[in-house]
Amino acid sequence: MKAQEYFLIILGIVVLLGIALTFLRKKHQIQKLAARRRTILIDLLRKAQEQNEIFNIKLLGEEGGKYGLSALLLKINDHQLEMEVLEYVPMEWVDTNIDVYFRVTLQEGPIFYKFRAVVQKVRAQSQRSHLFVTPPQDLEVGQKRNFIRVRPPQESVRAVAVWYLDPTRPIPRTTAEVGPPLFHYRYGMDAAPVVLENISSTGFALRFALSVPAEPPEHLAKGSQLLCLVIYSADEHNEQFNLFWSTNEIVNSRVEEGENPTLVLGTMFTNWAMLGQGKTEIHWFHTSPTRGVMPITQWVMQIDRKQRLLM
């Protein structure tokens, strides 16, 4: 074999090795980018989970336009998401396609996402179900959706009390440090000075009765801090009561004129505590507008489920 033929063979081997090396390098880059993207997707889901965001699930197909669920994300791994729904989910959901909507609050503000998933398994009970779904392969940045804000049934709210919170003083650590409220409501009152207008996982709106002419008190202005107590029942028969304490910042307000003018305040939770009946010590947990309060999130989901069943 001539030297020229040897050279051509060696050249061919070098070219083939170069092509193979380029292919392997490109494949490695694709795998690296895919792993990085998967990490970003998982991180976004974990942020939403940490912020106690409610995930909105829409079943695709014939019932997709009129049937949806609200869920909490419980567990995340590379192969599966476990979500809790506070209602019965039929086994027919297995192997069906769903769209999942959720919100994450980042440094630049709240961002709304959507992804397509497949229901792998359903573990159903009469009033609580667990859905196991495929993790997202990609996320779509969606339009802002109306995430859950509900008006609680009148019979479930047993009492509401509101105090002005002096920002120069520490928040109370026991009920003995709390004086008489500025406004209070008990179930059955004819003329309620204050009512719980609506609630979400990050705050609630309060409606106050005003005198005529309507002049909102200075301590109910935007930016003021309030101490609130809401006694509510989240069970079916309104037999077990929860004592929810919170400190709230007023983020917006409006006066509704008329024969009986009212002041509606939108507030966000800054600290919260659940107090057992007969207990006096208040153990506070800090929160922020980017993080929902778990017991209130669960109450919101229960109310939303009941209201949708009545539609």
Encode pLDDT of 187-229 as tens digits: 988 888 899 998 988 899 999 887 644 555 677 888 889 999 9
Give the mean pLDDT of 93-98: 91
Q: How far is it, in rounded angstroms, from Cα 130 to Cα 46?
A: 18
Comparing 23-32, 55-64, 98-107, 221-230, the range with the smallest average pLDDT is 23-32
**If pLDDT is split at 50, 70 and 90, which confidence band does 65 have?**
very low
The reported pLDDT for the residue numbered 212 is 46
What is the pTM assigned to this prediction?
0.63
- Catalogue all structural domains in the chain, each as residue range(s) with its CATH number: 1-147 (2.30.110.10), 154-309 (2.30.110)
The reported pLDDT for the residue numbered 168 is 85
294 SS3 class:
helix
| Residues paired with residue 205 on neighbouring β-strands, in sequence order | 198, 266
Token code pair at residue 260: 């009986």
Give the mean pLDDT of 234-245: 81
**If pLDDT is split at 50, 70 and 90, which confidence band does 9 have?**
low
The mean of the pLDDT values for the chain is 81
The reported pLDDT for the residue numbered 311 is 47
Q: How far is it, in rounded angstroms, from Cα 192 to Cα 212?
A: 16
Under DSSP, the state recorded for 153 is P
| Residues paired with residue 132 on neighbouring β-strands, in sequence order | 82, 121
Give the mean pLDDT of 139-153: 71
**If pLDDT is split at 50, 70 and 90, which confidence band does 269 have?**
very high
| pLDDT at residue 101 tops 60 | yes
The reported pLDDT for the residue numbered 213 is 47
| pLDDT at residue 63 tops 60 | no
- Nearest of 293, 249, 298 to residue 85 by alpha carbon: 298
